[in-house]
Amino acid sequence: MEMVMMTQMGAVNFIAPSQCKLGGASGLPPAKIGFRVRLDVRTAGFKRSSSKVTSIQASIAFPNLQADEFRHPLDRQNTALLRAIPGLGELGKFLLGPAAEQVMLLENIGTSVLVSDNQLADLHRLMEEAAGILDLEAPELYVRQNPVPNAYTLAIAGRKPFVVIHTSLVELLTPAELQAVLAHELGHLKCDHGIWLTFANILALGAYSLPGLGVIIARNLEEQLMRWLRAAELTCDRAALLVAQDPKIVVSVLMKLAGGCPSLASQLNVEAFLKQARSYDEASSSPLGWYLRNAQTRQLSHPLPVLRAREIDRWAQSAEYKLLIARASKAADEKRSSQSAINVRNRSLSAT
């Protein structure tokens, strides 16, 4: 992982939007919406084979990809606001010291299965492929038994960062959708979201219950941090699209997290969900609707699924996204041409 703040631990879930009191007494990281599993048959054509996850055809890669090339403007703006707060990084180190890091490490890894080339190898390939596309070193991946579909990223001081996915998420999504979720988590690492995710965890782990300082954090940082976190999620949705390279895959994940289950997956319709997202825009376009929408999202750690779907649908049609795809396609073509020339030369040398 390319986390700048390696002294911090960041965790966020990929699930449906949750309120800022994200964690429970167990100390689990907040729930965060994950991405890329398998598309509904009507949108992707994948066939679900029992609970087996299979590798999918790799998308074109983005050599030398920089985070700011896909970072959402709101992420950039709100990150700058957080960095302008004096001493905020030092406060994070103080609140989340080595003991707390060790607790999180044992809690989230001690009861999970480490994915590797000889352990859940199909999932391992999905992670390796996604990391390669985003020009990022693949973090460790763990699978944890949990009935709540979720995925989250952690970065521990002095340790390799890792991603955790819940078994129920694997059951809910297709392989393409599941890879999009992994790409979303990789987006946090690519964009160095670690320190601010640490503060999200502080709130999730009960900062409200801390005397004095916890109350100050809750009152003065909650709104600004949640605003940043919602913006960061939009950035990571873009990372998911860069790997999926099909907006329907990313939208399908959001749709399933909003109201899907394995028994209903084959009946879900991406286009209908996008239409629903557009209707939400229309319903909230009046002054009263605007006020109600802000009130509805103000305390959420994630944007509403319909708003995320609308954002990713728009970005997929943008010149910015198309330019990234064109550049990656050109690089792939040049690599294939170069490799072809090398193969011809080698055959020629062998013949002589």
Residues marked active site are found at 185
Strand arrangement, sheet containing 162-166 = 113-114, 140-144, 162-166, 151-154
Segments in 209-318 forming alpha helices (H) = 213-220, 222-244, 247-259, 270-283, 287-297, 305-316
Please give the Cα distance from 157 to 139 (Å, whole number).
14
**Other C-beta atoms lying within 10 Å of the C-beta of residue 229:** 26
Question: Which residues are paired to 19 by β-bridges?
Answer: 300
Pairing outcome for strands 113-114 and 162-166: unpaired
Pairing outcome for strands 162-166 and 140-144: parallel
> Which residues are within 8 A (CB) of 28 and not within 5 positions of it... i.e. 6 or more apart?
107, 108
The closest of 131, 238, 214 to 179, measured between CA atoms, is 131
Torsion of CA 203, 208, 213, 218, to 10 degrees: 60
What is the token pair recorded at 335?
Answer: 């690599």
Helix H or strand E encompassing 330: helix 319-351
Give phi and psi for 31, each to the nearest 5.
-80, 130
